[in-house]
């Protein structure tokens, strides 16, 4: 049972496996019984009496072999998933102290951390609300689990105490002082500053496996001729959005806008959770609007019209979550959206759609996008500071530029009618997500004979 669960199998499949084995054992016994009964009742090959000397009347009185579920037979005994779970739990509880002691003595030079969201399938409810959103686990270079913690959000600050405690635990147990050189994470660009603050040893080695994505790239800035407008009035917002709609839908307007939203992570008796949307940002080729909707008297009707306009593409990172919150809070339905990370992955410009906006900017724009928690997790309900306005303006502008960059790239699947001679192509592995070579299509080879 231990090996079954360690390999990722659940107690439900294990119970099914045990039932299958019990059923097969029962059927083998039934087959042996029927085979013997057939021999007893068989006629003599010479037409004489039965080989066993058993008469047909006696053979007819032999009992019927019971079914698997018959109470006189196996009684359907196989064990339920709850039974095996309780057996496993009781057995592992006896080993709990030794396992914890063994895990506590595990050193580490490399760490890998990630959120595990399947915890929501077996979550606890308190007053009808889930207590936790995910579980964050930390493993070392030998894939041994160092620590696990339940989190109420994806905020990095929730992990600080756990990451620091792992270091102190190693020191207090007499292990060598931890010197973490490498930390594997899904979004290294956005989490680099936080992790370097916890593990100073990462500062000398915090570079990607490929060429540097951040150190050699200048920061992303809004061009001097690009107009950024911070708006807190509903009428001004309607006028500005209407102008952007006309500009984007005009010839040469591109038909696309960058889209983003900001909100606070509120805390309360039910734990930390996302608050209401405070700021909505819209960016075009020449203008970016930072709309502080929480300080407006009403939700701008032109913003609803823009979101519902099928002729204007709205693009952004995690745009689905932004639009879902705006629909639930303000009834603003959104059509014609493009998740920019999925769009980049479909063109095989990035290997994973979970890459953050900062990573997309580094890979596709060769620019660094500041995603420091100090601004990202700041208070968006108050009048925005100049730093907050700049941060809010850069997010949709970066999404807009990334979309244009992906749109200008060639499709990984060429058209049938296209001339491939001289075209540079990427060769990927079987999964289609990892580039393994770059090639150029040569002239057609002459036919071979013989």
Full-model pTM: 0.50
| CATH number for position 233 | 3.30.420.10
CB 289 within 8 A of CB 231: yes
**What pLDDT, on a 0 to 100 scale, did the predictor assign at position 115?**
82
> What pLDDT band is residue 210 in, cutting at 50, 70 and 90?
very low
Mean pLDDT computed over every residue of the chain? 79
Q: Say if residue 85 is in the same domain as residue 115.
A: no
- When pLDDT is averaged across residues 88-101 and rounded to a whole number, the result is 83
Domain boundary among 170, 204, 238: 204
- Looking at the structure of the chain, the number of domains it has is 3
Handedness of CA 110, 115, 118, 124 (dihedral sign): positive
Interval 184-206 mean pLDDT: 74
* Strongest mean pLDDT among 42-51, 202-211, 348-357, 397-406: 397-406
Dihedral angle over CA of 10, 15, 16, 21, nearest 10:
130
290 and 397 housed in the same domain: yes
Are residues 399 and 277 located together in one domain of the fold?
yes
Q: Which residues constitute the domain of residue 123?
A: 105-204
- Over range 284-302, report the average pLDDT: 92
Chain centroid, CA 16 distance in Å: 29
Residue that is last in its domain, among 90, 115, 141: 90
Q: Are residues 234 and 378 in the same domain?
A: yes
**What distances in angstroms separate CA 91 from CA 1, 84, 95, one per listed residue?**
10, 10, 7
Lowest mean pLDDT among 87-96, 277-286, 291-300: 87-96
Average pLDDT, integer, range 96-122:
75
Q: Which helix H or strand E contains 257, and what residues bound it?
A: strand 256-266
Domain annotation covers residue 428: no
The label of the residue with tokens 């039932």 reads 19
- What's the CA gap between 313 and 363, in Å, rounded? 23
- Please give the angle made by the CA atoms of 81, 84 and 89, to the nearest 5 degrees: 120
For residue 64, is it within any domain?
yes
Question: Lowest mean pLDDT: which of 75-89, 148-162, 206-220?
Answer: 206-220
- Pair (190, 241) in one structural domain: no
Q: What pLDDT shows up at residue 48?
A: 55
- Asked whether 339 and 357 are in contact (CB, 8 A), the reply is no
* CA triple 409-259-228, angle to 5 deg: 100
Instruction: Examine the pLDDT at 117 and tell me if it is beyond 80.
Output: no
Let me know: does 106 contact 176? Beta carbons within 8 Å: no
Tell me the average pLDDT across 296-313: 92
**Which one is predicted more confidently, 176 or 93?**
93
| Three-state DSSP class for residue 401 | helix
More confident residue, 258 or 8: 258
**DSSP codes of every residue in 352-386:** -TT--HHHHIIIII--B----HHHHTS--SSPPPH
State whether 117 and 255 are in the same domain.
no
**SS3 per residue for 131-169:** CCCEEEEEEECCCCEEEEEEECCCCCHHHHHHHHHHHHH
Cβ contacts of 354 within 8 Å, gap of 6 or more: 186, 187, 341
Residue with the two structure tokens 């150029």: 440
Q: Evaluate whether residue 260 is within a structural domain.
A: yes
- Residue 446, pLDDT score: 61
> Is residue 155 over pLDDT 50?
yes
Contact 44, 56 (CB under 8 A): no
pLDDT in tens, 334-383: 999 999 988 988 887 877 777 888 888 888 888 888 877 778 878 888 99
Tell me which residue of 312, 326, 320, 370 sits closest to 340, measured CA to CA: 320
User: CB-based burial of residue 261 (10 Å sphere; 0-12 exposed, 13-18 middle, 19+ buried)?
Assistant: buried
Instruction: Look at residue 206 in the predicted model and tell me its pLDDT.
Output: 42
Give the Cα separation of 268 and 129 in Å (integer): 12
> Does 280 lie in the same domain as 245?
yes
pLDDT at site 211: 41
277 shares its domain with 395: yes
pLDDT for residue 418 is more than 60: no
- Evaluate whether residue 43 is within a structural domain: yes
- pLDDT at residue 180 greater than cutoff 80: no
Strands 313-316 and 145-151: unpaired
Higher-confidence residue: 442 or 339?
339
In this structure, is residue 422 part of a structural domain? no
3-state secondary structure of 115: strand
* Residue at 384 is within a domain: yes
Q: Is 241 within 8 Å of 302 (Cβ atoms)?
A: yes
- Per the domain annotation, does 78 fall within a domain? yes
Is-contact 211 176, C-beta < 8 A? Answer: no
The confidence score (pLDDT) of residue 273 equals: 61
pLDDT in tens, 34-75: 887 777 666 655 555 555 556 667 767 777 788 877 776 667
On whether residue 282 sits in a domain, the answer given is yes
Same domain, 351 and 376: yes
> Are both 80 and 110 inside the same structural domain?
no
Same domain, 245 and 391: yes
Rounded percentage of the chain residues whose pLDDT exceeds 70 = 78
The pLDDT of residue 359 is 85
Structure tokens belonging to residue 176: 């060598």
Check which CATH number belongs to the domain holding 121 and give it: 3.30.420
- Mean pLDDT over residues 423-444, rounded? 70
**pLDDT, tens digit, for every residue of 9-34?**
788 888 888 888 888 888 888 888 88
Find which of 10-19, 220-229, 272-281, 430-439 is predicted with most confidence, using mean pLDDT. 220-229
Mean pLDDT confidence for 252-278: 75
Same domain, 247 and 276: yes
**Mean pLDDT value of segment 401-420:** 71
């Amino acid at each position: 049972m231990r090996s079954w669960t360690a390999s990722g199998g659940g107690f439900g499949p294990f119970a099914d496996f045990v039932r299958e084995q019990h059923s097969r054992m029962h059927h083998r016994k039934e087959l042996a019984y029927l085979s013997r009964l057939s021999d007893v009742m068989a006629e003599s090959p010479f037409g004489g009496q039965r080989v066993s000397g058993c008469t047909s009347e006696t053979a007819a009185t032999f009992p019927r072999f019971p079914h698997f579920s018959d109470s006189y037979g196996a009684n359907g005994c196989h064990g339920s998933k709850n039974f095996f779970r309780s057996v496993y739990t009781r057995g592992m509880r006896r080993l709990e102290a030794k396992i914890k002691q063994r895990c506590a003595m595990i050193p580490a030079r490399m760490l890998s951390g990630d959120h595990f969201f399947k915890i929501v399938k077996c979550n606890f409810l308190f007053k009808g609300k889930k207590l936790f959103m995910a579980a964050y686990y930390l493993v070392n270079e030998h894939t041994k689990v160092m620590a696990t913690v339940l989190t109420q959000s994806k905020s990095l600050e929730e992990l600080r105490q756990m990451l620091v405690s792992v270091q102190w635990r190693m020191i207090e147990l007499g292990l060598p002082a931890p010197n973490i050189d490498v930390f594997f994470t899904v979004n290294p660009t956005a989490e680099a500053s936080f992790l370097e603050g916890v593990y100073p040893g990462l500062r000398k080695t915090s570079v990607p496996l490929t060429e540097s994505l951040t150190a050699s790239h200048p920061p992303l800035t809004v061009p001097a001729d690009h107009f950024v407008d911070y708006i807190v009035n509903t009428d001004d917002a309607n006028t500005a959005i209407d102008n952007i709609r006309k500009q984007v839908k005009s010839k040469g307007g591109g038909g696309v806008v960058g889209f983003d939203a900001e909100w606070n992570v509120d805390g309360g008796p039910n734990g930390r959770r996302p608050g209401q949307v405070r700021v909505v940002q819209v960016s075009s080729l020449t203008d970016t609007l930072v709309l502080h909707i929480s300080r407006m008297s009403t939700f701008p009707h032109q913003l609803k019209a823009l979101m519902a306009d099928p002729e204007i593409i709205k693009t952004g990172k995690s745009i689905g979550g932004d639009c879902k919150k705006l629909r639930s809070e303000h009834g603003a339905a959104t059509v014609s959206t493009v998740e920019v990370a999925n769009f980049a992955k479909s063109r095989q410009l990035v290997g994973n759609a979970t890459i953050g906006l900062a990573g997309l900017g580094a890979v596709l724009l060769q620019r660094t996008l500041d995603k420091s928690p100090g601004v990202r997790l700041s208070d968006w309900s108050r009048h925005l500071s100049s730093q907050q306005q700049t941060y809010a303006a850069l997010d949709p502008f970066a999404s807009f530029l990334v979309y244009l960059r992906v749109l200008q790239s060639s499709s990984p699947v060429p058209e049938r009618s296209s001339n491939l001679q001289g075209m540079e192509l990427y060769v990927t592995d079987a999964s289609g997500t990892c580039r393994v070579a770059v090639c150029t299509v040569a002239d057609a080879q002459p036919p071979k004979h013989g």
